[in-house]
Chain A
Amino acid sequence: MVPMEYYLVVSTIMMFVGMYGFFTRRNLLAMLISVELILNSVDINFVVFNRYLFPEQLEGFFFAMFAIGVSAAETAVAIAIIINIYRNIRNIQVKNLNEMKN
């Protein structure tokens, strides 16, 4: 059996890689991809804690499942907003977004 900390190390690395992407990318879709990485790492944490620490209950399991559903909804709405922005300013770079306010 694999020790629990190994999984947690993987998910921590994934979370901070996502944060690095969120800090350094300047494209709205690339930033959204980084957010997906962060959400995914948290899902791994929930499932691993459930499996190793409380295997007789299913809280982490269901929390991970609902988090997957919520992130699907979030992605759909965010992509709708991004397509709307593209329609307005023909561009999805962050530095051009202040053209939206007037």
Chain B
Amino acid sequence: MTLNLIVFFILAVFICVCSVLSVTTSRILRAATYLLFVLFGTAGIYFQLNYSFLGAVQLLIYAGGITVLYVFSILLTSSQGDKAEKLKNSKMLAGLISTLAGLAICLIVMLKNKFLPSHFESGELDVRAIGHALMGAGKYQYILPFEVISILLLACIVGGILIARKR
């Protein structure tokens, strides 16, 4: 039992418990808080895989940006003692059964699958390599999706303002 494995198990239990709590809790603000914890755990997994740049991006955009957006919109749209309404038991049971069936099928298929031989190379990914790959136009370089996503973000800003403005 190495330290790496112990850290992984702590992160895994944390992520699973918090994600289950975030879909089962009845108060929606708590659901957003548990989602924040799940995102922190995911960033921890990225850090453990030695992708610290991706972990930092996850912390900045997801945990810093999106969660704040959720909390603001929850505070705007729900009143104080707002609770999730009870679903009918039959519908809840149908959702649970179909989810568990899908989970079982996926786990069986995944664990029976023979993956390519994995070779884990520890060691930090160089930020210089990330920058060159992101800004180059050659093979295995990503200038085109970078530009496309900048256009997408611009369109999303304009669309958000257009939809949510007061008339």
- Say whether A and B bind each other: yes
Query: CB within 8 Å of B: which residues of A?
Result: 1-2, 4-10, 12-21, 23-27, 29-30, 32-34, 36-37, 40, 43-44, 47-48, 51-53, 55, 57-59, 61-62, 64-66, 68-73, 75-77, 79-84, 86, 92-93
Residues of A within 8 A of B45 (CB): 7, 10, 44, 47
Contact A59 B23 (CB under 8 A): no
Closest 7 CB pairs of A and B: A21-B23, A23-B95, A80-B164, A73-B156, A52-B118, A16-B103, A20-B99
Mask: chain B, 34-62; 1 = CB below 8 Å from A; 0 = not: 01001100100110111100100110011
CA gap between A17 and B160 in the complex, in Å:
29
Contact A81 B163 (CB under 8 A): yes
Contact B160 A77 (CB under 8 A): yes
Contact B12 A29 (CB under 8 A): no
Residue ID in chain A nearest B21 by CB atoms: A17
Residue ID in chain B nearest A9 by CB atoms: B107
Residue ID in chain B nearest A51 by CB atoms: B49
Contact A70 B152 (CB under 8 A): yes
Contact A73 B23 (CB under 8 A): no
Interface residues on B, range: 35 or more
CA gap between A51 and B2 in the complex, in Å:
19
CA gap between A85 and B91 in the complex, in Å:
26
Contacts known (A20-B99, A37-B23, A47-B51); A84 close to B163, Cβ less than 8 A: yes
CA gap between A64 and B49 in the complex, in Å:
14
CA gap between A52 and B110 in the complex, in Å:
15
Query: CB within 8 Å of A: which residues of B?
Result: 2, 4-5, 8, 12, 15-16, 19-20, 22-24, 28, 31-32, 35, 38-39, 42, 45-46, 48-51, 54, 57-58, 61-62, 65-66, 69-70, 73-74, 76-78, 84-85, 87, 91-92, 94-96, 98-100, 102-103, 106-107, 110-111, 115-116, 118-122, 125, 129-130, 133-134, 140, 142, 145, 149, 152-153, 156-157, 159-161, 163-164
Residues of B within 8 A of A75 (CB): 66, 69-70
Contacts known (A47-B49, A68-B57, A70-B149); A17 close to B20, Cβ less than 8 A: yes
Contact B85 A68 (CB under 8 A): no
Contacts known (A24-B87, A79-B69); A2 close to B110, Cβ less than 8 A: no
